[in-house]
Amino acid sequence: MTCPICEKRKAARFCPAKGETICAVCCGTGREVTIDCTPDCPHLIAAHRYEDEHPRSLPRDTPLLDVNLPSDAIHTQQQLMAALAFTIAKFCATQRDATDPDVLAGMRALAETYKTLRSGIYYEKPPSARLPRELYAALTTFIAEAKQQQAEHSNSSALKDADIFYLLVFLYRMGLLRTNGRPRSRRYIEFLRSQFPEAQELKREESRIIVP
């Protein structure tokens, strides 16, 4: 059987995303690039395992890499950080087309907005692409609600914009390290989902594809 993608090489690997058998070369080059891989694909899982053994490093020109993250801001706001991570995972559960680049773009834009707040000048520039822009809006709504809830409890300390900024930068950097740079990667999204195994909102439908 010839690979239906290249029409040259022998088809040897079943692709759950395509629902047909393709060659190893097309699997490797198209994975998370031209092929929208399913998370339970054994070849994708094996590739991710290899990537885990060869971690990425962030280039020096990475956005927001120059921000010095205070350790106390991360440790004292762990509950808020978990809530932000859950908000992202929940958004991606409802938007199945969302990829790591979408998440990173939305988080970076919101972090840049909070960066201007720290300087006393409010400047908001949501992403132009639909999914990053909608994630930006979802996170903005969550933060506004969190601030409102704290304001209603007089014994709670006010939620500082600086702390929100640091948490967004932390989660953004984590995403850069968790993803693999491929345009259709969902490695970071899957990592966030795995942090809340009992959450019904994040449950995935069972795969209906039978691998031969």
2 part of a folded domain: no
pLDDT at 187 over 60: yes
Residue with the larger pLDDT of the pair 119 and 140: 140
What percentage of the chain carries pLDDT values higher than 70? 94
Q: Which tokens sit at 128?
A: 């132009």
pLDDT of residue 5: 96
pLDDT band for position 154 (cuts 50, 70, 90)? low
pLDDT at 210 over 60: no
The predicted model gives 124-136 an average pLDDT of 96
pLDDT of residue 138: 97
Provide the domain limits for residue 32. Answer: 13-53
pLDDT band for position 212 (cuts 50, 70, 90)? very low
Same domain, 117 and 30: no
Same domain, 86 and 148: yes
The candidate with the shortest Cα–Cα distance to 179, out of 94, 88, 79, is 88
Give the tens place of pLDDT for each residue, 162-171: 999 999 999 9
64 part of a folded domain: no
Give the tens place of pLDDT for each residue, 89-111: 999 999 999 999 999 999 999 99
Q: Which residues contact 171 (CB under 8 A, 6 or more apart)?
A: 81, 84, 85, 88, 107
pLDDT band for position 211 (cuts 50, 70, 90)? very low
CA separation for the pair 82, 115 (Å, rounded): 21
Q: What is the value of pTM for the model shown?
A: 0.89
Question: Would you state the torsion angle of the CA atoms of residues 16, 17, 20, 26, taken in this order, to the nearest 10 degrees?
Answer: -110
Same domain, 103 and 28: no
pLDDT band for position 59 (cuts 50, 70, 90)? confident
Same domain, 34 and 126: no
CA separation for the pair 150, 90 (Å, rounded): 22
Q: State the sign of the Cα–Cα–Cα–Cα dihedral 67, 71, 77, 83.
A: positive
Q: How many domains does the chain have?
A: 2
pLDDT at 185 over 70: yes
CA separation for the pair 188, 99 (Å, rounded): 9
106 part of a folded domain: yes
pLDDT band for position 76 (cuts 50, 70, 90)? confident
59 part of a folded domain: no
pLDDT at 123 over 90: no
pLDDT at 179 over 60: yes
Same domain, 107 and 47: no
